[in-house]
Amino acid sequence: MNNLQLNKEGKLHHFITIEGLSKEILTEILDTAESFLGISEQPVKKVPLLRGKTIVNLFFENSTRTRTTFELAASRLSADVLSINIATSATSKGESLLDTIRNLEAMHVDMFVVRHAISGAGHFIAQNTAPHISVINAGDGQHAHPTQAMLDMFTIRQYKHDFKPLKVAIIGDILHSRVARSQIQALNTLGVKEIRVVAPKTLLPSHVEQLGVKVFNTMEEGLDDLDVIIMVRLQKERMTSALLPSEQEYFKCFGLTEERLKLAKPDAIVMHPGPINRGVEIASSIADGPQSVILQQVSNGIAVRMAIMTLTLQNKGDSV
């Protein structure tokens, strides 16, 4: 099923999920992003690589950081970028997703960047769109958020250089986190030594250990000797039943505090895909502290998205 992302030559044409992508493809994305990193630091933050291409951001779900960095990434590659506000679009007048796609195709666009509350939305669009159009998943339901996972991998490589010896933990609301799922797949493919998930039992998907992770239910055990700490947000908006007593109680047991951070290696980095809930999953002093690379993740997000846009648009799709 994931071969949908690759064309006949095995090159990346859509970017929907990390699942099924080889270590070589992930490394090519990271290496290409490395090249793009410099552009954002130049006085002229633009290259003409995607001049003449039209990229449509289709965000059926709210997002500030992801949408903005996709817009900036497209602009810095000289593509024309259009962000459609679904709330005021024809979709709210009853137009189906496929009809929206057909209409945009008729406007000769080259790429859809899709965020949707339903898992599989990106996959569905990739399956049903014209062969010359690339689809990038910018988050679908609880399924995947592969560009976020790649910018996290890029940030880890930037600070730690080699994936092989690393112990990495993802901490927090794993159950609702599409980011965590994509991160686990990417970390496994890139071959880190150990992946842990740390969360209360109510916030872990069932059979999570089958994803190739070690499960911990206390911070004290889970943080020991870590190189990389990835905090994920408590997704209150997706919680439909009483999974937690209270936010205060959650912070008391699973919040990242100064004290707990000392359990990890002294040079451990602290990451968070944002938006952060200060005092819920992470103490302010850590989010703003010397081990935090949270804002670096945001900067890297532009370069990584530039790389993914370039690679997918470079590789033509197959006619179906």
Partner 1 sequence: MDNNSLKISTLLAKLESELKQLISKRKLKNPLMIGIHNGGGWIAEKLHHRLALQEPVGIIDISFYRDNFSQTETFSQVKPNLLPQQMEGRDIILIDDVFYTGRTARSALNAIFDYGRPRQVILAVLIEQEGREVPLRPDCSGQTLLLANNERINLTGPEPLALDIQSPDKQLTAA
Q: Name the site residues for partner 1 (rule: CB under 8 A).
A: 28, 31-32, 34-39, 41-44, 46-50, 307, 310-311, 314, 316
- CA–CA dist 152, 26 (Å, integer): 12
73 membership: H or E segment, kind and range: helix 65-76
Q: Is 233 a catalytic residue?
A: no
On whether the CB atoms of residues 173 and 142 are closer than 8 A, the answer is no
On whether the CB atoms of residues 71 and 78 are closer than 8 A, the answer is no
Choice between 286 and 308, CB closer to partner 1:
308
On whether the CB atoms of residues 167 and 228 are closer than 8 A, the answer is yes
Token pair recorded at residue 285: 């002093």
Q: Is 66 a catalytic residue?
A: yes
CA separation, residue 81 to residues 70, 71, 223, 235, 298 (Å) = 9, 6, 42, 29, 20
Choice between 42 and 96, CB closer to partner 1:
42
List the catalytic residue out of 11, 65, 265, 278: 65
Choice between 142 and 310, CB closer to partner 1:
310
Least distance (Å) between residue 46 CB and partner 1 = 7
Choice between 38 and 191, CB closer to partner 1:
38
Least distance (Å) between residue 189 CB and partner 1 = 18
List the catalytic residue out of 13, 53, 66, 116: 66
Least distance (Å) between residue 306 CB and partner 1 = 9
Token pair recorded at residue 6: 């690759």
Q: Is 312 a catalytic residue?
A: no
Least distance (Å) between residue 309 CB and partner 1 = 11
List the catalytic residue out of 13, 145, 196, 260: 145
Q: Is 202 a catalytic residue?
A: no
Q: Is 32 a catalytic residue?
A: no
Exposed (0-12), middle (13-18) or buried (19+): which is 229, by Cβ within 10 Å? Answer: buried
Q: What is the largest CA-CA distance in the chain?
A: 57
List the catalytic residue out of 76, 115, 181, 272: 115
Active-site residues, by number, are: 65-66, 93, 115, 145
